[in-house]
Amino acid sequence: MNGQPPKARAQSDQPPLWLRNEPGAPVLSGVNWVGLKTLYIKEVRRFFKVQMQTVWAPAVTTLLYLVIFTVALGRGGRTVLGVDFADFLAPGLIVMAMLQNAFANSSFSLLVGKMQGNIVDYLLPPLSVGELIAGLVGAAVTRAFLVGLAVWLAMLFWPDVSVTVREPLGLLWFALMGSLMLSFLGLLTSIWADKFDHAAVIGNFVVTPLSLLSGTFYSVEQLSPTFQAISHANPFFYVISGFRYGFLEVTDSPLWIGAAVLLVINTALWGTCYALLKSGWKIKN
C-alpha cells in the first residue's frame, strides 16, 4: 500500500505545465510585463553604453546647424511666420534630431541580430509579437526624447534663441507621434534589411530627404502652390509644424489635420510591423 494520499498522488502524476499545452501554445496569460521590461531595459542600456555617440553627438551636430544658419549665413533680423528666424529654426532642429535617432535605434537591433546570428535572443523568450514591438519601439522613442532633451537644454543657453515651451501638450503629442513613426519605420527596415547597406539606403534616400524637405529651415507658405502640395504630402512636415507650434504658437498647417494624419500613419505602420513579425518574414528561417 502506498501511504501517499490519493489527492496528492493524483497531483504528482500530472505532467509539468509546459507539457500539458499544445506545441506553440502560449503558457503565459496576459501581458508578460517582466519580459517586456527586461527587453526595454536591454535596448536602452545598449544605446546608453555609448551615449557620447548616440545622444550627445547628435546634439552637437544639431547645434552646428543652428550655428551655420544663424551665425555663418548672417540670418540675423530675418523673420519667418512673424517670429525671429533663429526661434523658428530651433524647434525644427530639435524634432529633426529626434526623428533621425528614433529611426537609427529601431533599425539596428533586429538587423544586427540577423547578421550576427543571435536573432533567437529576440524570438526565443516568451514575448508576444506586440510585446516585442513595444520593447523595441519603446527604447527607440526613449532615445529620441533623450536626444531632444539634450538639444533643448543646449539651446536654452544659446544666445538670441528662445526655446520656451508654450503648448506642452501639443509639443508632446507631435514629438511622440513623430518618434513612433520613425521607430516603426526603422523596425520595418530592420525586418527587411539583410545588411547595413540596406538600412543605409532607407536612411539616406528616405529619412534624410524627407526630414530636410519638411519645412525645418523654411516655411512652406513661401513655396509655390505645387511645392506646397508636395510638402503637405510629406508626413515629416506635420511633425515639425506641430512640434514648432508647441514653442511658438504659430504653424503653417492645421494642427488637427496633422495630428490625425500622424495617428493614421502610426496605426498603419504598427499593423504592418505586427503582420510581418507574426509571419516571420525574413526573421524565421
What pLDDT, on the 0 to 100 scale, is given for residue 1?
A: 47
The pLDDT tens digits for 130-175 are 999 999 999 999 999 999 999 999 998 888 888 999 999 999 999 9
For residues 193 and 103, the answer to whether their CB atoms sit within 8 Å is no
Written as nine digits, the cell of 84 is 525671429
Coil, strand or helix: which one is 200?
helix
Q: Which residues pair with 80 in a beta bridge?
A: 83
Cα separations in angstroms, 273 against 77, 121, 276, 278: 46, 18, 5, 8
DSSP symbols for 76-104: TT-EETTEEHHHHHHHHHHHHHHHHHHHH
Residues in the chain predicted with pLDDT less than 50, given as ranges, are 1, 9, 18, 23-24
Q: Name the nearest CA neighbour of 57 among 201, 141, 154.
A: 154
Exposure string for 65-74, b = 16+ CB within 10 A, e = fewer = bbeebbeeee
230 in a domain, yes or no? yes
21 in a domain, yes or no? no
Q: Which residue in the block uniquely carries the three cell numbers 518618434?
A: 179
What pLDDT, on the 0 to 100 scale, is given for residue 66?
A: 87
Coil, strand or helix: which one is 276?
helix
Distance CA 44, CA 41 (A): 5
- Please state the domain count of the chain: 1
Domain around 117: 31-279
49 in a domain, yes or no? yes
pTM recorded for the entire structure: 0.87
What pLDDT, on the 0 to 100 scale, is given for residue 174?
A: 97
12 in a domain, yes or no? no
Distance CA 181, CA 267 (A): 9
For residues 106 and 207, the answer to whether their CB atoms sit within 8 Å is no
Distance CA 90, CA 94 (A): 6
Distance CA 175, CA 204 (A): 22
For residues 239 and 95, the answer to whether their CB atoms sit within 8 Å is yes
The pLDDT tens digits for 268-285 are 999 999 999 999 998 875
Q: Is the dihedral of CA 216, 44, 174, 170 positive or negative?
A: negative
Q: Name the nearest CA neighbour of 259 among 198, 173, 188, 187.
A: 173
123 in a domain, yes or no? yes
184 in a domain, yes or no? yes
8 in a domain, yes or no? no
218 in a domain, yes or no? yes
Distance CA 182, CA 177 (A): 9
β-pairing, 83-84 vs 79-80, is antiparallel
What pLDDT, on the 0 to 100 scale, is given for residue 123?
A: 85
